[in-house]
Structure 1
Amino acid sequence: MTFNQVVWKMAKVNNKKYIFYYLCNSFAVMFFFMFSTVYFNSRVDEGKQTESLQDALSIPGVALIIFTVFFISYAHNVFMKKRRSEFGLFMTLGMSRRDISKLLVLENGIIALASILSGILAGAVFSRLFFMLLMNLIELEGIPFHLSGKMFAYSIGAFAAVFLLAVGKSLFQMLRSSVILSMKSNRFAETIKMRSPLLGAFGLVVLIGSLLILYLTYEDSSGSYLPLWTMSMFLGLYISLNQSVSFLIYIGKRFPGFYYRRLLFLSNLDYKFKQLTSIVMLVSVMIMITIFYSTLLLTFYKASEKDAVNNNPYDVAFFQTETKNSISNNELDKILDLKEHETFPVFNYYEKLVYVDGYQTYNFMSLDDFNRLTSNNKELRENEYLFYLNSEPEYAPADIADRVEISVENDMKTFTKKGQVIERNINLLPNAYEFIVINPEVFKNLGESAEGYFLNLHLLNVEDWKSSGAAVEQLKEQLAAGNQETPKIEYPGNESVQEEELFRVASKVDDYESNKTINGMMFYVTTFLSIMFFVGTFVLLYLNLFSEVETEKAKYRKLNKIGMSAKEIKGNITRELGAIFFVPTLLGTTLAFLYLVILSTDVGGIMNNPDILMHFLLTSGTYLIIQIGSFFYARKNMLLNQLQN
């Protein structure tokens, strides 16, 4: 029998190893390609200019890359662990190390090529189906699905780089390994180098302490210490996972009735958690990222309408001068189907600064108009002013000047602050943030004698703002066309603001559509990555179970011979699988909730934001249900493997 025949026969006998290894690599290529179809999507690429979408892509994207690198490396190590003994056998039959190297490169090359072809094909099909399903679900339009050369190049390049490193490492180890060690490679058990209950307790203290300190300091530090304490939390999590069962055994020994009835289970679990610390840690972090980001971005998406309404008290708003945004009330009513129309004159005062290049500017408003706008009944003397900030109170500046001095016909006029009002009553527009409210007579005289210009603030409500998109677009086009026909005006003190921005139209419907698009894309990306993470974590856990199935089968056969019943074996397998599947799930879910609690301190706490809590329960509950289904699937396959003769 030739060597080629020997190799071919062994490949046919061990076809499950090759198939599973091929599927793992195909999954990795599919993950890379599906992420590329999102990351390099033309519409999403344009949205990366916004910091929120960039974070939504970059942070989970880095996590996906780390996970996939670990996934490919681990799948290759499992495959090679089974192959080393076969390579040792080939060498005893006369095959040289050079031949072994050729065989290793050839079979991995074929598997890599097949994985790339099938992975890209599956990625193209599933990404298209997922894209269509989710776009319809979130009612998001204007984001086309397309494929580009960049998607193919980055997917193949990323996979090839990681795969070649893994194969190169195995090739190097194979060339250095002796024949005897190669043949016995699958008989070596991984030794447990350290059992330290105190170290496990220390890890738990670091984990809890990091989260507690982050919670106490997050709001005051504006999140600047978030990376530091997150890394500390991950360190504590790793130590805790590595030594957690040792700590549990240490406590359990104090209760002999509890400990001795579960001796085998606890010992096996201790061994598995030390052996699988990196995997359990990685899966826990992936679950945490999945639930955390899905909850956060689902909340943002659902809040699109709420944010649009909060930022735009009126359905439509814009500034007007004699030459800019010139339109009559009758024309406005025809275009927008008006229900309410208010006009407020604003005097923009500017004064050339003496010692620096620039202008000091103030937006003055009459007290009568202020009372009409805010439903107040304030009173002011000639030398008093009221500071009005068009903002939410939590974002208001801490220090506001007690006096305002301006030059009127070469004389200095001083206003003393009587009070301040901070509330949102005007849409987000330039020159509509800070106002100096003064006596009506003083306002009239100021406009006639001081340096500045008047802006008429138009605030409009329509019958149905959600259906006003086409009308608002028509209004914007008409105003823009009229502005282009008039000479460009320089507005001292507003040089940094473009004329188009100063006279833009701010509307609820525009903000709503913009928020819905950005948040919808973020939600789409996060849901996309969440599903990929879930599939990846399940395959990773299943891969570990598959790699140890023969060892576990031999162990339980021996236990059966010394009196362990099939029912006891089944119960032990179920408990071990439950721990491996649900400990990372519970850890990841708990950490995601704690991080939501920490980040919610900036917006009044999670109890004051029930939407976040409800979306967390929805996301984590869905994940848990799917995880339970995958657990029963893995349990069924494991029991079939263990209990069959």
Structure 2
Amino acid sequence: MSKFFYARLAADNIKKNGKIYFPYLLTCIFTTALFYIMKSLSLNEGIKDVIGDETVRYIMGMGCWVVAIFSGIFLFYTNSFLMKQRKKEFGLFNILGMEKKHLAKVILLETIYLYLISMAAGLVFGVALDKLMYLLIMKVLGYDIALGFYISGQAIRTSILLFGVIFLLILLNSIRQIQLSKPIELLQSRQAGEREPKSKWLMTILGLGCLAAGYYISVTTENPLAALPLFFVAVILVIIGTYLLFTAGSITLLKLLRKNKKYYYQTKHFTSVSGMIYRMKQNAVGLANICVLSTMVLVMVSSTTSLMVGLKDVITTRYPYDISLYAEGELPDKCKNIDKEMKKAAAEHNVDVTDEITYTYLTFSGVENGNEIITDRENNSNSAVKLNNLRNLFFIPLSDYNRVMGSHERLGDGEILIYSNRDAFAQQTLEVFGEEYKIKKRLDDFVGNGLMASNVVSSHFIVVNDIGELEKLQIEQKAAYGESASEIRSLCGFNVSGDQKDQIAVYKKMTSEFDFAASAECRAESERMLTGVYGGLFFIGIFLGMLFVAATILIIYYKQISEGYDDKERFEIMQKVGMSQSEIRKTIHSQILTVFFLPLLTAGIHVAFAFPLIARLLAILSLINVPLFVGCTLACFLAFAVMYGIIYFLTARVYYRIVSWDGAAD
């Protein structure tokens, strides 16, 4: 026997099974390229010039871990489809005299070929696309693009090592399956599991319960602070519920339909229901994987796109003025000096101060209970109920409110004006620290500072009679909160002409002249920082979305091939017992269409129920424009549905070619 016999046999096997190996090889190349690009970008020195570079690089680093873990799981999973289709071939080799150690040698050589091709092509594409992705992310972040071509040796080494480990584990698992199987089992592997599945009511009820619990958490969680930890609980419950319902619930439903004689004993329903019972048993896990991946794509892409598209809204809400100065105490003596220094700094950079605003305020939080705001720390636990009723209170003297808003409101003793930015305050009186205030008027607008306007917790903006009332509340607050109590503060906000560079220059000049304790914010500088953070999240969302879409396509493709070979013989029998080609074609179309679009429909339901929780999580990142998020989510779902339909059209043709008899594929 030639010493190159096994090498040639392994190469021939890959060629002969090109229909199933070629998509797998493309996926290996694609995931290798994606991992290299992500790793290379996280190490790219050019990103160090970006404001917020540490955040961007951290996001890229986390993306590397996600891609690495997902690549391992995904390639391991798709290889199982390959092995399922190859087992009969291996069984035939075994019967013809090839020992299992020789089969292991062939599998080893096939794995080496696939690994070498994947690494060579994947790294070449990765290096070629790396610069393009770098240009894209710098464009998204709004930075100038440096010339030159960057190749990361560390990213190449890491990619070779990572996928070397993944392919080694895949090889060991493949050899294990061959070694533990008997030749007759390998030959009959495709017929495994043909016994009719049983209804599993307990798993079905448990799946419905998990899904209902996950949906309930999403719909009922109101406070974004409570949403963050509960989000992961809801995700886990929905994933478990999805797998249980696809594997057990679908079969239970189909068997209930079969018991309905009026429905079942019709030509168009009889073959569809009976065929789908077996189909769901064999492919339920694959369909659940498609559903979960589709949901992940929709959630990631829609949320990160909303953040990027809504960046201007976030900036405007969070930073209402070009330059904001926050100082402790009142500012009557300091305002003139601040105004003078601001105009001096603006003049030095040839810009003008266009608007100016100053007011004094006090802010603290408490738990709303009827008309009372509870400020007793011992009774304010972090339960979900308490967090949902947590409120920020923002107090401002009447004189400052009238001056800033240009109004002429008046208040008597014990009276207040109130404005609520999210959850309305429905009571007629407000009790704080045992003092009851009568609500004279509910305001339609308020001049709250950016920190409160964009806070994730619902806020009540309250106008009190005078500064003396503010000082009284401050004394009570210190007694309640001790060292955690906030101070009376003042805001000086300025808008200046000029571009972002001019605004940043004025801001830096202004802050260097302070001779008192104060903090400052610059809208332009903060916008560049948030652009880096949101741009990084957007890039990761699109990047991982591409990876999950590729995974979805491959799972669908292999599912169609696997089902095609399993169904071919079944449909031939149907024709022999008297069913016409037209009836069989309708049966095939009904089954394929129903099963194929079931994951998309379920993913849409998941996204709809997840929407309230995701919206509250986005509020933590200062995106409170819910209509924008609705639009982005619908647009992403429609785009994904169109792509899903195209995938169906292409992969269904493969299925029809496999199961077709004379004239059936026409």
TM-score relative to the length of structure 2: 0.72
Q: Work out the CA distance in 1 between the residues paired with 2:274 and 2:547.
A: 33
Maintained 8 Å contact 1:81/1:186: yes
| Aligned partner of 1:313 among 286, 297, 320 | 320
Aligned-pair CA distance for 1:143: 7.8
Aligned-pair CA distance for 1:379: 6.7
What's the Cα RMSD here? 4.7
Aligned-pair CA distance for 1:78: 2.5
1:563 is paired with a residue whose SS is: coil
| Aligned partner of 1:253 among 258, 272, 275 | 258
Residue number in structure 2 paired with 1:140: 142
Correspondence 1:111 to 2:114: yes
Residue number in structure 2 paired with 1:621: 638
Correspondence 1:332 to 2:346: yes
Higher alpha-carbon deviation: 33-42 or 206-215: 33-42
> 1:290-315 deviations in whole A, cap 9, x for unaligned?
11122222222222212222223333
2:578 is paired with a residue whose SS is: coil
Aligned-pair CA distance for 1:472: 0.8
Correspondence 1:459 to 2:493: yes
2:547 is paired with a residue whose SS is: helix
Maintained 8 Å contact 1:325/1:480: no
Aligned-pair CA distance for 1:127: 5.2
Q: Work out the CA distance in 1 between the residues paired with 2:647 and 2:184.
A: 40
**Structure 1 residues 305, 395: CA separation in 2 closer, same or farther (over 3 Å shift)?**
farther
Residue number in structure 1 paired with 2:309: 302
Higher alpha-carbon deviation: 8-17 or 364-373: 364-373
**Structure 1 residues 387, 122: CA separation in 2 closer, same or farther (over 3 Å shift)?**
farther
Correspondence 1:167 to 2:171: yes
Aligned-pair CA distance for 1:189: 4.4
Aligned 1:584-595 pairs, distance under 5 A: 584-595=599-610
2:493 is paired with a residue whose SS is: strand
Residue number in structure 2 paired with 1:29: 32
**Structure 1 residues 128, 249: CA separation in 2 closer, same or farther (over 3 Å shift)?**
same
**Structure 1 residues 457, 288: CA separation in 2 closer, same or farther (over 3 Å shift)?**
closer
Tell me the amino acid that sits aligned with residue 75 of structure 2.
Answer: I
Aligned-pair CA distance for 1:168: 0.8
Maintained 8 Å contact 2:415/2:437: yes
Tell me the amino acid that sits aligned with residue 178 of structure 1.
Answer: K
Aligned-pair CA distance for 1:288: 1.0
Higher alpha-carbon Rg: 1
Aligned-pair CA distance for 1:526: 0.7
Q: Work out the CA distance in 2 between the residues paired with 1:529 and 1:287.
A: 12
Q: Work out the CA distance in 2 between the residues paired with 1:192 and 1:56.
A: 47
**Structure 1 residues 22, 476: CA separation in 2 closer, same or farther (over 3 Å shift)?**
same
**Structure 1 residues 385, 141: CA separation in 2 closer, same or farther (over 3 Å shift)?**
farther
Aligned 1:506-545 pairs, distance under 5 A: 506-545=521-560
| Aligned partner of 1:81 among 69, 81, 84 | 84
1:569 is paired with a residue whose SS is: helix
Aligned 1:424-435 pairs, distance under 5 A: 424-426=447-449
Q: Work out the CA distance in 2 between the residues paired with 1:341 and 1:476.
A: 15
Maintained 8 Å contact 1:391/1:424: no
Q: Work out the CA distance in 2 between the residues paired with 1:318 and 1:6.
A: 76
Aligned-pair CA distance for 1:323: 9.2
**Structure 1 residues 160, 380: CA separation in 2 closer, same or farther (over 3 Å shift)?**
same
1:564 is paired with a residue whose SS is: coil
Higher alpha-carbon deviation: 257-266 or 217-226: 217-226
Aligned 1:207-286 pairs, distance under 5 A: 207-217=211-221, 219=223, 222-223=226-227, 224-253=229-258, 255-260=260-265, 261=267, 262-286=269-293
> 1:393-421 deviations in whole A, cap 9, x for unaligned?
7699x996579xxxxxxxxxxxx999999
Q: Work out the CA distance in 1 between the residues paired with 2:342 and 2:209.
A: 69
Maintained 8 Å contact 1:28/1:72: no
Aligned-pair CA distance for 1:618: 0.6
> 1:463-494 deviations in whole A, cap 9, x for unaligned?
5xxx52121122134336656xxxxx6x6xx6
Maintained 8 Å contact 1:25/1:115: yes
**Structure 1 residues 401, 389: CA separation in 2 closer, same or farther (over 3 Å shift)?**
farther
Gapped regions of structure 1 (runs ≥ 5): 349-362, 404-415, 444-453, 484-488, 495-501
Correspondence 1:471 to 2:488: no
Q: Work out the CA distance in 1 between the residues paired with 2:338 and 2:273.
A: 78
Maintained 8 Å contact 1:538/1:630: yes
1:318 is paired with a residue whose SS is: strand
| Aligned partner of 1:288 among 291, 295, 318 | 295
**Structure 1 residues 366, 102: CA separation in 2 closer, same or farther (over 3 Å shift)?**
closer
Residue number in structure 2 paired with 1:446: none
**Structure 1 residues 121, 46: CA separation in 2 closer, same or farther (over 3 Å shift)?**
farther
> 1:486-519 deviations in whole A, cap 9, x for unaligned?
xxx6x6xx6xxxxxxx353x33333333333322
Residue number in structure 1 paired with 2:590: 575
**Structure 1 residues 18, 630: CA separation in 2 closer, same or farther (over 3 Å shift)?**
closer
Q: Work out the CA distance in 2 between the residues paired with 1:37 and 1:263.
A: 55
2:349 is paired with a residue whose SS is: helix
> 1:160-185 deviations in whole A, cap 9, x for unaligned?
22322221122223233334434444
Aligned-pair CA distance for 1:364: 12
Residue number in structure 2 paired with 1:156: 160
